[in-house]
Amino acid sequence: MPDSALKTPAPDSRTLADQVFTRLQDDIVLGVLKPGTKLGEAELAARYGVSRGPLREAIRRLESRKLLERIPHVGTRVASLELADLIEIYRVREALEGMAARLAAEQMTAAEVAGLWELLALHEQQQDLQDDVAYFQHAGDLDFHYRIIQGSHNRTLIDLLIGEIYHRVRMYRYQFSMTANRPRKALTEHRRIAEAIEARDGEMAELLMRRHISRAREYLEARQAPGSSDTNRSPTT
Amino acid sequence: MPDSALKTPAPDSRTLADQVFTRLQDDIVLGVLKPGTKLGEAELAARYGVSRGPLREAIRRLESRKLLERIPHVGTRVASLELADLIEIYRVREALEGMAARLAAEQMTAAEVAGLWELLALHEQQQDLQDDVAYFQHAGDLDFHYRIIQGSHNRTLIDLLIGEIYHRVRMYRYQFSMTANRPRKALTEHRRIAEAIEARDGEMAELLMRRHISRAREYLEARQAPGSSDTNRSPTT
DNA sequence: CTGGATCAGATTGTCGACAATTGTCCTTGC
DNA sequence: GCAAGGACAATTGTCGACAATCTGATCCAG
């Protein structure tokens, strides 16, 4: 639930099209509408209590974000996320978040760095207590990356990552009920990235972030390879 | 004009909304509609001979691509591109195209590599003849990057770069009538990137591509800095 | 003369109905 | 019995009209 910071438009958007866009996106990301489901416009319009006009606008925007697949004159389906797609996304994340970490090391304010350490302290505490493990994997881990992305102070980079990429990552996590496979290691890597940022070492921050994400991708590729078919477990990144 | 390969939807889209989307995008990118222009829906609807319905869908899609800026209940304006925005985009290109070059070195087929060399030979020939310089800067240079991006064989990466980023780069070029400032150096760098790809050296290809784009960005930053206000000249990347 | 509130005009947001296209099912011929 | 063709139904694409909201210009008060 603490995904509040990840929503794109204003929470109480004034226009109906924005409201239904937000609600539809949440229903897709959280798994209420499962991948492959065929969505009739009339059905959805009744579901959200709006006309087909605003609904169509929301559909087009979700289609741009790759959360919906539409075929003209045929219909709209919820995008089905293959593991191969997620691996592709991790390649993009490796490049983009590596750059974000580099820029964050150069551009983050002292207050932002302090906030980063507070977040890590919170994570460490929660992990020691084995408290709410789910939080760490979902919003917790994402929040760490989220702060570094914002720390880049590069609007284009932020919009791309938060607005175009992360929705699909979150969709994957909720869809497969992902459980972190190595939270302790991930936390250590997070801490080292924070150290590099605090030291204003951009190159090191980029290297560590890329390695961090690359390891998660390699884990996914191992799951994809034939022969290894364990239960749903996922990297923490 | 040889931008045919850069268009997003099918050229003869069946639905009216797609057609007006394509035409509107071209008018924005090519500078027919200049940045900051206020666009009335009724006016545009008459301009393209469609109703406001399909037009609004096109507007939403262009807004997602950051080519239009919309304020609810107020209106839509053509996105005004500051030099600072272009510099931000070049940071993203450095990260993304660096990764693309790495993947291209690993994934490109022999035929694709051959096509890359043919393109470079064509560029070299045109430059020797001082023939059509404009081609090299606009479509020519973009085509080189375009091929490497596609060579990554990563659908997510391709869609991001071609579908979300490059439109704004093209818009900038047409807007400022950019003239290459160092075509010879750029061609040499292109050739070295191709060599690394042919040698299947992913790390080297990424390094060279990042340096290539980074230099162009540094040139833009120099133009942005106070004191240097020469005429409109731009890097070739 | 300046500042703020009010009102008119225009523009955007929303809705319901009509037209066009697609997929399906039935019929028909071989 | 099977395949090809056609007609029907359902869904999407498109349109015009109505309602809600913002801009600006005018008018009034201080």
Percentage of chain B exceeding pLDDT 90: 70
Mean pLDDT of chain A: 86
Judge whether residue B11 has pLDDT over 50. no
Q: What pLDDT score was predicted for residue B6?
A: 39
pTM equals 0.87
Judge whether residue A207 has pLDDT over 80. yes
pLDDT digits (tens, 9 = 90+) for B96-136: 999 999 999 999 999 999 999 999 998 887 766 655 555 55
Cα-Cα-Cα-Cα torsion A215, A217, A220, A225, nearest 10 degrees, comes to -100
Tell me if residue A181 falls in helix, strand or coil: coil
Distance A54 CA to C16 C1' (A): 13
Q: What pLDDT score was predicted for residue A237?
A: 60
With CB atoms and an 8 Å threshold, state whether B160 touches A99.
Answer: no
| Nearest residue, CB atoms, B164 vs list A57, A73, A164 | A164
Give the bridge partners for B204, in sequence order: none
Distance B71 CA to D21 C1' (A): 12
Judge whether residue B7 has pLDDT over 60. no
CA–CA distance, A85 with B128 (Å, rounded to integer): 43
Judge whether residue B213 has pLDDT over 80. yes
Per-residue confidence at A12, pLDDT binned at 50, 70, 90?
Answer: low
Where do we find the tokens 């991930």? Answer: A186
User: What burial class does residue B186 get, using C-beta atoms within 10 Å of its C-beta: 0-12 exposed, 13-18 middle, 19+ buried?
Assistant: buried
Structure-model confidence comparison of residues B3 and B83, the more confident one: B83
* Residue A72: nearest nucleotide (C-alpha to C1'): D12
Contacts of A66 in chain B (CB under 8 A): 159
Give the bridge partners for A69, in sequence order: A77
Give the bridge partners for A68, in sequence order: A78
* Residue A39: nearest nucleotide (C-alpha to C1'): D11
Report the relative pairing of strands A38-39 and A75-78 from DSSP bridges: antiparallel
Which amino acid is it at B130?
Q
The whole-number average pLDDT for the span B127-149 is 71
Contacts of A155 in chain B (CB under 8 A): 85, 88
Identify the weakest region by mean pLDDT among A21-25, A137-141, B155-159, B206-210. A137-141
CA–CA distance, A91 with A98 (Å, rounded to integer): 11
Residue A220: CB atoms within 10 A of its CB come to: 20
CB < 7 A from strand D, the residues are A 14, 39-42, 52-53, 56, 70, 72-76; B 15-17, 50-54, 57, 73-74
* Residue A13: nearest nucleotide (C-alpha to C1'): C13
- First CA to last CA distance, chain B: 18
Tell me if residue A77 falls in helix, strand or coil: strand
Judged by a CB distance cut-off of 8 A, whether residue A52 touches chain B is no
pLDDT digits (tens, 9 = 90+) for B172-190: 988 887 766 677 788 899 9
Domains of chain B: 3-78 (1.10.10.10), 83-224 (1.20.120.530)
HSE value, Cβ hemisphere, 13 Å, CA-based, for A72: 9
Buried b (16+ CB within 10 A) or exposed e, A172-193: bbebeebebbbbeebbebbbbb
Closest residue (CA) to C1' of nucleotide C12 is B73
pLDDT digits (tens, 9 = 90+) for A51-108: 999 999 999 999 999 999 999 999 999 999 899 999 999 999 999 999 999 999 999 9
Residue B98: CB atoms within 10 A of its CB come to: 23
Structure-model confidence comparison of residues B103 and A142, the more confident one: B103
Judged by a CB distance cut-off of 8 A, whether residue A11 touches chain B is no
Per-residue confidence at A31, pLDDT binned at 50, 70, 90?
Answer: very high
With CB atoms and an 8 Å threshold, state whether A57 touches B56.
Answer: yes
Judged by a CB distance cut-off of 8 A, whether residue A206 touches chain B is no
Which amino acid is it at A75?
G
CB A209 within 8 A of CB A225: no
Contacts of A89 in chain B (CB under 8 A): 156
